[in-house]
C-alpha cells in the first residue's frame, strides 16, 4: 500500500486522516477524569511510594511494548 495523496483507501467514517477520532476522544476524556481523580490524592501519597509505583508502571509498559 503506497502512502500518497492519490490513494483511494479509506479508514472509515471515524477517521480524520490517520487519526481515529473515537480513540482520540476516549484518550482526552479518560485523561481528564484521571487528572481529576489524581488531584484528590496530591500530598497524601508519600514520595517513596509514588516513585516505586511509577517505576513499576514504567516496567509494565516496557514489558507490554517489548512483548507486543
In a domain, 1, yes or no: no
The better pLDDT of the pair 11, 23 is held by 23
In a domain, 45, yes or no: yes
Q: What is the pLDDT confidence band of residue 5, given thresholds at 50, 70 and 90?
A: low
Please tell me the total count of domains within the chain.
1
For residue 1, what pLDDT is reported?
47
Q: DSSP states of the chain as a string? A: ---STT------TTEETTEEHHHHHHHHHHHHHHHHHHHTTTTTS-HHHHHHHHHHHHHHHHHHHHH-
pTM metric for this prediction: 0.56
Query: How does pLDDT run across 29-63, given as a tens digit for each residue?
Result: 999 999 999 899 888 989 999 999 999 999 999 99
Domain hosting residue 59, numbered range: 15-67
Q: What is the mean pLDDT of residues 14-40?
A: 93
Amino acid at each position: 500500500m503506497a502512502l500518497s495523496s492519490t490513494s483511494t483507501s479509506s479508514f472509515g467514517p471515524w477517521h480524520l486522516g490517520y487519526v481515529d477520532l473515537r480513540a482520540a476522544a476516549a484518550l482526552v476524556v479518560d485523561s481528564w477524569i484521571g487528572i481529576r481523580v489524581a488531584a484528590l490524592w496530591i500530598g497524601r501519597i508519600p514520595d517513596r511510594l509514588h516513585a516505586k509505583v511509577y517505576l513499576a508502571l514504567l516496567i509494565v509498559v516496557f514489558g507490554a511494548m517489548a512483548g507486543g
